[in-house]
Structure 1
Amino acid sequence: MKIFDIVKYILNAVSYGVLFAVALILLKPELFPGLQSSPLFSQSPKEQQALSFAKAVSLASPAVVNIYSEKIENNPRYGHQPRASTRLGSGVIMDSNGYILTNMHVIQQADLIWVLLQNGQRYPGELIGFDRFTDLAVIKINVTDLPVIPQKPEQQPLAGDIVLAIGNPLNLGQTVTQGIISATGRNGLSTTSYLEFLQMDAAINEGNSGGALINSNGILVGINSRKFTQNNPNHQLEIQGIFFAVPYQLAHKVMRQIIENGKVVRGWLGIVSNQYYTDLKGFIVESVIENSPAKLAGIQAGDIIYQIGEQPIASITQALDIIAETTPNTKVKVKMYRKGQPIETTVTIIELNG
């Protein structure tokens, strides 16, 4: 018992000593200068790191180029002497062997194309091909080992994602603007409209066209295309924050076809339809174009198409994408309802022209 009492006495003494020391440190920290630098006793809160997209920009910006397209014109004001007019634009290096994506309107009717890299080197560009439906073009420079924009084919942009637009607005040099994706579009090859583009509010000005739209990780999301314009000149509205980019997946499909074929080859069926909702899956054919594959296969207005090939159809947009991406001269089975009865026909898809 005596040993136990001694141990108990020592433990009590130590406990009181520790409590006294802690109280003294808390009440009189100035007596212990070495503890002043400790985070526990620091009076100022830790500084929060500033939010920055510098890393994303540093990854993507070397692959964004300036494009200058020159058109030689005979101007009667100058005695019909040839004069060069220059159009500004941007482009994105998609392949280290020199393939660059840009907008068709940047290089349209150009006699000379010049590509300026971010390291200051300038090269002549060769037009490989263009696609007027998506306003995309592919040019090539004879250089290898170029910086390539980061790409992630499986990524799907969502409304609300932060995006950065990189380009050369008004020839000011490479510039970055920031915004969010306001709405997303489709990635199929069927004829496009504003609804099939990415809509965002990152500012696009003259010279930005053809530049890169990236996410906060520096990965390519789309090719900057245009700002919203109103078709009715008699009713002008002050429009702000509505800009468009071609989605990456669609732009990549178009680029591969242009490189392989010199153009984009789309299949064509020859039907007209609005997005009608029915109790049955599929869509209602509104009209059939004369001498089209649909007409030759016996498809009629009022038919409800619910399957093309092996793929069930949920909407007209899905159907048009399937047809557009079908190789011309391919025979495809089309299943539909006519007056409530299921029928089937075979259509020979042809190439879309004009």
Structure 2
Amino acid sequence: MGQRQSSHWISYIVRSVVLGLVVAAVVIWLQPMLSAWQSSRATPEQPVSYAKAVNRAAPAVVNIYSLSEVRGSYYSQRPNTVLRLGSGVIMDNVGHILTAAHVVANVSSIQVALQDGRQTSAQIIGVDPITDLAVLRIELDNLPIIPQDRKLRSRVGDVVLAIGNPLNLGQTITQGIISATGGRMGVINSHADLLQMDAVINEGASGGALVNSEGYLVGINNAQFRGPAGQGVEGIYFAVPYSLARDVMTQLIQEGEVVRGYFGINTSETPANLSFAQPGIFITGVDSNSPAERAGLRTEDYIIAIGGQPISSAAEGLALISNTRPGTELEVRFIRDDREQRTTAIITKLTN
């Protein structure tokens, strides 16, 4: 009995020693990693910075100086030359620049200044008043190009940086967030589905770049919201989304104009006193002699599908029509007097 107990204690001591050696080996092996982890925790956190995004995007944002002539006054008939400020974004290596149309509208000459100190004249390739976009071209080598991602889609809450040349103070960056991505900003009848953000856009910064926190182009800065009396409203600024701006640029370069489909309706969100089981477009007006009128549509009709595609909002419906080539026949499903009906409309070309 004594030998068995002695043997049990010897076995217990051996197991304890082996376990202790294993634990010691593990601690020795983990010591460098534990020290590094403790060292990293002791180091103060780096401050939030958008320097990387700015360094990637800012060189491709240019200053635009354009000259225009305005008629003289009653006392002097000589026209006056006015300098207009704006910004632009270099989009490719052959010198195409996107900017706001109002920056270069009715001007006699355009000068572009790059951030590396180079300056050159620019020619207008095309202008699209509906989206307030214009394409310029410069002839220089080794151009910086704004980072682009064609799959990028902006979301409400995204952090954005607006880069431009406000009041000719030099390149300036303002920061904000996107608060709306279109369809609810009082522009439901517009073919330009704008981004709304609170990154400040002052005079001279229009046409500049709106980029995300990685420096990728999100939109082309447009303007500040104006109230009923024309006064600016703080914190409400707009930009044309990148995907739309790129499509417009491509058409202006290839065709010299942007061809859009025209239907001829005025729309609004569904009135509160109407309750339909499916989303759609409530018609508040029909243009005279328009495709919609010729198709028999009336005020207070409720469109639920166009061309076989269900419509969830006025903005979506207008975008579908805008992207339809003139001459295309589209079936329109709508509700009138609580009954679903169908008609066919032939889309025509939208004229500015």
Verify same fold: TM over 0.5.
Answer: yes
Cα displacement (A) at 1:76: 6.0
SS of alignment partner, residue 56 of structure 1: helix
Render the CA deviation track for 1:96-125: whole Å, top value 9, x for unaligned: 111111011111111001111111111211
Given candidates 136, 139, 160, the residue that maps to 1:139 is: 136
Q: Which one-letter code corresponds to 2:162 in the other structure?
A: A
Q: Which one-letter code corresponds to 2:239 in the other structure?
A: A
Q: Does 1:252 align with 2:252?
A: no
Matches of 2:336 and 2:129, distance apart in 1:
36
Matches of 2:127 and 2:311, distance apart in 1:
30
Matches of 2:191 and 2:341, distance apart in 1:
32
Match of 1:107 in 2: 104
Matches of 2:340 and 2:80, distance apart in 1:
65
Render the CA deviation track for 1:14-33: whole Å, top value 9, x for unaligned: x8xx99xxxxxxxxxxxxxx
Q: Which one-letter code corresponds to 1:313 in the other structure?
A: I
Where does 1:331-342 land on structure 2 (aligned, <5 Å)? 331-342=329-340
Scaled by the length of structure 1, the TM-score of the pair is 0.81
Given candidates 263, 271, 276, the residue that maps to 2:257 is: 263
Scaled by the length of structure 2, the TM-score of the pair is 0.81
Cα displacement (A) at 1:79: 6.5
Contact 2:304–2:333 (Cα < 8 Å) also in 1: yes
Q: Which one-letter code corresponds to 1:108 in the other structure?
A: A
Contact 2:126–2:257 (Cα < 8 Å) also in 1: yes
Q: Which one-letter code corresponds to 1:250 in the other structure?
A: L
Cα displacement (A) at 1:286: 3.4
Matches of 1:123 and 1:247, distance apart in 2:
27
Cα displacement (A) at 1:82: 5.9
Contact 1:91–1:210 (Cα < 8 Å) also in 2: yes
Render the CA deviation track for 1:146-172: whole Å, top value 9, x for unaligned: 221111122222222111111111112
Match of 2:346 in 1: 348
Q: 1:142 to 1:40 in 2, by over 3 A?
A: closer
Q: 1:193 to 1:203 in 2, by over 3 A?
A: farther
Matches of 2:327 and 2:191, distance apart in 1:
26
Which runs of 5 or more structure 1 residues have no equivalent in the other structure?
Answer: 20-37
Match of 1:314 in 2: 312
Aligned length: 331
Where does 1:1-354 land on structure 2 (aligned, <5 Å)? 45-73=42-70, 75=72, 83-185=80-182, 191-192=189-190, 196-232=193-229, 239-276=233-270, 277-281=274-278, 282-354=280-352
Q: Which one-letter code corresponds to 2:245 in the other structure?
A: A
Matches of 1:70 and 1:349, distance apart in 2:
39
SS of alignment partner, residue 250 of structure 1: helix
Matches of 1:41 and 1:283, distance apart in 2:
60
SS of alignment partner, residue 170 of structure 1: helix
Contact 2:188–2:268 (Cα < 8 Å) also in 1: no
Deviates more, 1:205-214 or 1:47-56: 47-56
% of aligned pairs identical? 46
